[in-house]
Amino acid sequence: MTTVIIGGGLAGLAAAYKLADKDKIIIIEKEPQLGGMASSYKIDNYFIEQYYHHIFASDKELISLIEELGLIDRLEWLKGTTGYYFDGKIYPMNSPLEILKALPLMDVIRLTLLVLKAKSIKDRTPFDDITAKDWIIKTAGESVYNNFFLPLLSSKFGDNKENVSAAWLLGRVQIRSNRGTKGEKLGYMRGGFAALIEIMAQNIRDRGGIIRKGNASRIEIIGNSIKGVIVDGEMIECDRVISTVAPHVLSKIMDTDLTGLKFDLNINYQGTACALFGLSEKVMDDIYWLNIKEDVPFGAVIEHTNFIPTSDYGEHLMYTTSYFQDPKSILWSLRDEEVIELYLKGLEKLFPQIRKKLKWWRLRRDLDTAPVYETGYRKKVFPFKTDIKGLYLAGMFSQTNYPERSMNGSIQAGFRCVDEMA
């Protein structure tokens, strides 16, 4: 059997990794680099993710895979300190005491009760049709919503913040609320997640898999069965296709009407514009992740070298990032230099010395970086196996990536998809 996998991100690589002993595998990736959303820049002598990445202790499949590939000694669990910028000041938010300093006492009590309630909910299904906003206000009041959750929802979902479901919020609270009194530990592979991608790719090649650069422009289907994939004008015949591309790309590369896909292809995705700055000095004292309640064109500042030691890189690294909901957004239409200038002007409001510390910058932007987990999303989750013989789907749109897309969710999607093939 020949299986063509469209997309060399983590879902595609995971599927190939699991299938390489059974099928002839051909991965098609349109970019020169593998890894999709999890790919890295090579700066001088080190790798750093183009989009900030860390993992959680609950990311079981990813951690097992790292272990299986002999990379576990690189995985470290470090304190991921968080802060909140408002009224011209950074408030650390790592312990109950620090949260008490930043929020009114009644809000802290109500927030604690909300977290306890969220953690006790086992079945999130009924919460898929309620907005997070309504549930927060009903459970903890307007003040907790406005002071605590609104900036978080705004930074994550922009104009879609009021449409996001309570099911998403519950999932998020359940993953993120095990901070204890000393703050949360997050996982990171020293040297970067680039090594994971490289070793996976090598392992697939060693077992006969082919990884090819190319643009898949058409999935050919005859009757109700897969015939092949057209890549840069050339037909690659195959028995099965695993597509890992975003729904709107899938709808362009196959005749979804004719082939009667019975699920909704209109998943709403949001884009990201993420700048990485190389700096001569640190910017924040000891905050890794800063959420911001201020009129600036980004939602979060992430000082990577307040998480991973600067000595790994020989310089300080900081991301500034924003999601956008619409391709007409200036974060998508402006030139790279203009986006960076916009971000620097915003950063100057928070950190007046920023330009003096700046050595270099990079910018990565994509349109389809995360599904918007709005009410009713559960019904939109894609199946792994479709009614078309030989067509399978795995990626950010899969059930394993709900209610939060992650590297773990995409790896699990690749694995689960292969299980369904069997």
Per CB under 6 A, residues contacting ligand FAD are 6-12, 28-31, 36-38, 51-55, 215-216, 244-245, 249, 253, 272, 274, 369, 395-396, 405-410
- Residue 206 is given by DSSP the state H
Contact 318, 304 (CB under 8 A): yes
Give whole-number Cα distances, 136 to 105, 107, 173, in Å: 17, 12, 12
For ligand FAD, the closer of residues 111 and 292 by Cβ is 292
Partnered with residue 262 across adjacent β-strands are none
For ligand FAD, the closer of residues 212 and 345 by Cβ is 212
d(CA 112, CA 107): 8
Give the pair of three-digit tokens for residue 162: 């009021």
For ligand FAD, the closer of residues 147 and 322 by Cβ is 322
Q: b/e string for 323-341 if b means 16 or more Cβ within 10 A?
A: bbbeeebebbeeeeeebbe
CB of 356 to ligand FAD, least distance (A): 27
CB of 179 to ligand FAD, least distance (A): 17
CB of 398 to ligand FAD, least distance (A): 8
For ligand FAD, the closer of residues 36 and 158 by Cβ is 36
For ligand FAD, the closer of residues 135 and 390 by Cβ is 390
* CA 205 centroid distance within chain: 26
CB of 144 to ligand FAD, least distance (A): 25
Contact 21, 231 (CB under 8 A): no
Residue 215 main-chain phi, psi, to 5 deg:
-105, 115
CB of 141 to ligand FAD, least distance (A): 30
CB of 30 to ligand FAD, least distance (A): 4
CB of 254 to ligand FAD, least distance (A): 11
Query: Which of 5, 13, 399 lies closest to 226, judged by CA?
Result: 5
Burial (Cβ within 10 Å: 0-12, 13-18, ≥19) of residue 399 = middle
For ligand FAD, the closer of residues 108 and 151 by Cβ is 151
For ligand FAD, the closer of residues 107 and 184 by Cβ is 184
Contact 66, 188 (CB under 8 A): no
